[in-house]
């Protein structure tokens, strides 16, 4: 029988690239630095929910703060003060676990991304953002304090006042500055699990921007955008705005998700026709121009979490993500160009998201968000065409003074990265000498 | 009969094991008080903070190497004093050991037997007498499916757990009639640091799954539980394989 190539011990969510590494479970903060130190370079990883190679290190040692399976690891909740809403937890706790703890006590996370399965360490290392970026900024803005442990054993308590340079370098620092042992997060009070939402259909970027401006006071705003249709349907989408319900309701804990995609789909399942069909159905599910109602926070924030392992939809070769932010332009020429390039390629999936970033400054030296419009979507991996498209999108992003998101990237070149993040040399001085990542090797080569 | 109260003061030996930690989190939500015993004080402190945050009414810790059986009595007395009275003791310490090394060296085999069996015997002897005198209490001991039949791949660990199972069986028959609940817990493969080096197949359960089974078994005052429960069937089949065939199998 022909020998199958060995499966890497650890994959990122995009499952591309495939790089093998030695995975060392790190169940306790006090087990780091490892004794004896590993012979290779190392990188801390949490849930592995970033898409490309920012959480990978070929032939290296991955310090995994999550246990095998879905539980365990460095996931302890060390302190909670209901008077201030400040929760202190270890870096391997996931946002879902925090919500399970906080919601029944009447609290919610200040910023959540599109999945609850990311760890706090990952949320800091990528200085993540959510649907409330325009009013709350990035996740890091709500992390007043954390502990960084360097490979030489040095422990640094970091905040805006103490070790401020390490604080800024670690926030969005892609796990390269050392191990984040624990962090404080300032939670916010809620009285109900439900979100009052409104969905509005739009056509074209102009209308999307107008809706975003008109609803700038809404706490959560995001849009789904059709990146397949052309002609009259070009850049059609649904704009969504939501607020936490102010009417008190019982704050029960979430139930566990049972639904899981058990196998890898064959790669050809997602194509221009199936995605086009999905998009038409999705767009027309909402019949009128405007729809409003109330929904539990789980489907509002984490619709894809309902299907575990949804990335298997793309087959075992994996998927590519692209997320950029472009600064404001009067005529939105850059974003239009990007959307046109995507529709022309016919490669887009139905998971395309458009959002306006606000102007609250990101606390990290290397944080991705900046004022403007951000677009995120994934692509199946088709040899040549997918990579050609991403190269084109990176070029347009650069030309329009935008930048791309390392947590979702597997393809940008060193020259592009260094142009997107000219401060990278200053950041490099904070990288732990024993730490490295496949992404960092690629973009500093 | 009125429903019995769930244990509210809990002594945990080998507290930093993944299964014990997952179990305690469930019990913490009920507002229990804990006395955690383990080797590493830093780990005990991190765990104590977590249990406290999750709702435990009180958590005290005691760091010791459990192989040191001479120190058991002092630790147990301190636990009883700190908790006021012990409602439940959970024994969760143990090592998987290195089977090839234990095959080659008596000292290695004896070390596994000492940690998994003899040190448990020392603790259970004290605790059985304590609960017997009290006329109530729960003694929950984590053994293993590996103790159900000697297998080529891990018979030293298996023997230590098999001996433990038999010892606990006997203790049950002695003190169950005095009102003490004695629970033998037999987990199958669980994804924990102890098994991190093994290839994880579909039979692996998470510590959280096993923990839910343990809490249920305490509530229902079961004698022996296999966790997850399908291991009862698997181990029945393993025990039923005729020896002439079993001795040729590679398991």
3-state helix, strand, coil in chain A (%, to 5): 30, 25, 45
Residue A234 is encoded by which pair of tokens?
A: 């070009």
The tokens describing A229, both together, are 């249709």
How large is the average pLDDT for residues A195-218? 95
Is residue B72 scored above 80 in pLDDT?
yes
Those residues with Cβ within 8 angstroms of residue A134's Cβ, 6 or more apart along the chain or in another chain: A212, A216, A221, A356, A357, A358
Q: Measured between CB atoms, does B217 come within 8 Å of chain A?
A: no
Chain B contact for A67 (CB, 8 A cutoff): yes
Q: Quick one: tokens of B84?
A: 């006021």
- Interface test with chain A among B40, B43, B211, by most A beta carbons within 10 Å: B43
Residues A65-118 pLDDT 10s:
987 655 679 999 999 999 999 999 999 999 999 999 999 999 999 999 999 999
A81 in contact with B at a CB cutoff of 8 Å? no
A37 at interface of B, judged by CB pairs closer than 8 A:
no
* The pLDDT of residue A341 is above 80: yes
Asked if the model's pLDDT at residue A1 lies above 70, the reply is: no
CB pairs under 8 A between A and B: 61
pLDDT > 70? residue A3: no
List all residues 6 or more positions away from A172 whose beta carbon is below 8 Å from its beta carbon.
Answer: A124, A125, A126, A127, A138, A140, A362, A364, A365, A366, A367, A368
> Which chain B residue lies closest to A97 (C-alpha atoms)?
B54
Chain B CB within 8 Å of residue A78 CB = yes
CA B163-B169-B172 angle, to 5 degrees, is 140
Determine the residue of chain A that is closest to B18 in CA distance.
Answer: A72
Residues B35 and B82: beta-carbon distance below 8 Å: yes
Strand duo A236-244 + A319-326: pairing: unpaired
Q: How many CB atoms lie within 10 A of CB A288?
A: 8
Distance from CA of A100 to the nearest CA of B (A): 11
Residue B28 near residue B55, CB atoms below 8 Å: yes
Among B22, B52, B196, B200, the strongest candidate for a mutation testing the A interface, having the largest count of A CBs within 10 A, is: B196
Domains, chain A, in order of start with CATH, read 77-190 (3.30.465.10), 194-410 (3.40.462.10)
Over residues A9-66, the pLDDT tens digits come to 789 999 999 998 899 989 999 999 999 999 999 999 999 999 999 999 999 999 999 8
Domains of chain B, first to last: 9-246 (3.40.50.720)
Give the residue carrying structure tokens 């230590």: B160
**Predicted pLDDT at B120:** 98
A contact residues 92-151, partner B, Cβ 8 Å cutoff: 101
* Burial (0-12, 13-18, 19+ Cβ within 10 Å), B112: buried
% chain B with pLDDT above 70: 98
How do residues B119-138 score in pLDDT, each as one tens digit? Answer: 999 999 999 999 999 999 99
Look up the ipTM and state it: 0.92
Give yes or no for B206 touching A (CB within 8 A): yes
Instruction: Supply A86's token pair.
Output: 């400040």
Average pLDDT in chain B: 95
Among all residues of chain A, which has the CA nearest to that of B49?
Answer: A78
pLDDT at B212: 96
Short-list A342, A401, A344, A327, CA closest to A377: A342
* Smallest Cα distance from B148 to chain A, Å: 26
Residues of B designated as active site: 157
Q: Is B53 on the interface with A (CB under 8 A)?
A: yes
Q: Has residue B196 got a pLDDT over 80?
A: no
The minimal CB distance from B47 to the residues A67, A69, A76 is found for: A76
């Amino acid at each position: 029988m022909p020998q199958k190539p060995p499966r890497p011990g650890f994959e990122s969510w995009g499952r591309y690239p495939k790089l093998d590494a030695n995975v060392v479970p790190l169940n306790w903060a006090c087990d780091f630095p490892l004794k004896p130190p590993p012979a290779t370079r190392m990188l801390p990883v949490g849930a592995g929910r970033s898409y490309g190679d920012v959480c990978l290190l070929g032939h290296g040692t991955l310090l995994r703060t999550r246990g095998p399976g879905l539980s365990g690891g460095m996931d302890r909740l060390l302190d909670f003060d209901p008077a201030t809403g400040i929760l202190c937890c270890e870096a391997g706790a996931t946002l879902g676990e925090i919500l399970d703890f906080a919601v029944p006590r009447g609290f919610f996370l200040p910023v959540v991304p599109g999945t609850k399965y990311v760890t706090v360490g990952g949320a800091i290392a990528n200085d993540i953002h959510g649907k409330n970026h325009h009013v709350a900024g990035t996740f890091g803005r709500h992390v007043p304090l954390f502990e960084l442990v360097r490979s030489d054993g040095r422990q640094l308590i970091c905040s805006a006042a103490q070790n401020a340079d390490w604080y800024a370098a670690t926030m969005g620092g892609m796990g390269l500055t050392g191990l984040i042992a624990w962090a404080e997060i300032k939670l916010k009070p809620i009285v109900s699990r439900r979100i009052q939402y409104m969905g509005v259909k739009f056509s074209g970027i102009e209308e999307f921007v107008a809706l975003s401006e008109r609803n700038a006071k809404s706490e959560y705003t995001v849009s789904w955008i059709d990146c397949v249709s052309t002609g009259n349907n070009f850049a059609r989408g649904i704009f969504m705005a939501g607020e936490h319900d102010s009417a008190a309701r019982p704050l029960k804990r979430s139930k566990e998700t049972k639904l899981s995609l058990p196998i890898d789909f064959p790669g050809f399942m997602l194509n221009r026709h199936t995605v086009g069909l999905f998009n038409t159905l999705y767009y027309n599910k909402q019949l009128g121009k405007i729809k409003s109602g109330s929904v539990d926070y789980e489907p509002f924030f984490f619709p894809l979490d309902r299907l575990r392992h949804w990335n298997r939809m793309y087959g075992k070769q994996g998927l590519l993500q692209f997320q950029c932010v472009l600064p404001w332009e009067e005529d939105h020429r850059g974003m239009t160009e990007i959307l046109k390039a995507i529709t022309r390629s016919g490669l887009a999936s139905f998971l395309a998201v458009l959002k306006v970033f606000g102007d609250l400054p990101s606390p990290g030296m290397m944080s991705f968000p900046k004022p403007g419009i951000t677009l995120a979507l994934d692509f199946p991996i088709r040899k040549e065409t997918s990579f050609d498209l991403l190269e084109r999108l990176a070029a347009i992003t650069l030309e329009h003074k935008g930048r791309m998101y390392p947590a979702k990237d597997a393809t940008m070149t060193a020259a592009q990265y260094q142009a997107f993040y000219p401060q990278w040399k200053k950041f490099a001085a904070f990288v732990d000498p024993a730490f490295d990542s496949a992404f960092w090797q690629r973009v500093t080569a | 009969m009125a429903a019995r109260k769930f244990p509210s003061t809990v002594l945990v030996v080998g507290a930093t094991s993944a299964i014990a930690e997952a179990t305690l989190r469930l019990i913490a939500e009920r507002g229990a008080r804990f006395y955690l015993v383990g080797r590493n004080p830093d780990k005990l402190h991190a765990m104590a903070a977590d249990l406290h945050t999750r709702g435990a009414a009180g958590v005290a810790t005691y760091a010791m190497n459990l192989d040191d059986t001479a120190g058991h009595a002092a630790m147990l007395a301190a636990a009883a004093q700190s908790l006021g009275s012990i409602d439940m003791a959970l024994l969760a310490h143990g090592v998987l050991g290195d089977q090839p090394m234990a095959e080659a060296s008596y000292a290695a085999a004896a070390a596994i037997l000492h940690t998994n069996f003899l040190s448990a015997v020392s603790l259970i002897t004290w605790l059985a007498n304590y609960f017997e005198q009290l006329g109530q209490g729960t003694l929950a001991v984590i053994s293993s499916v590996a103790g159900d039949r000697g297998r080529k791949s891990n018979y030293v660990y298996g023997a230590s757990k098999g001996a433990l199972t038999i010892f606990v069986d006997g203790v049950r028959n002695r003190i169950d009639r005095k009102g003490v609940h004695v629970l033998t817990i037999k987990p199958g493969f669980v994804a924990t640091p102890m098994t991190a080096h093994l290839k994880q197949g579909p039979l692996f359960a998470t510590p959280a799954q096993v923990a839910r089974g343990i809490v249920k078994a305490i509530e229902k005052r079961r004698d022996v539980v296999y966790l997850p429960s399908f291991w009862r069937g698997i181990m029945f089949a393993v025990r039923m394989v005729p020896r002439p065939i079993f001795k040729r199998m590679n398991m």
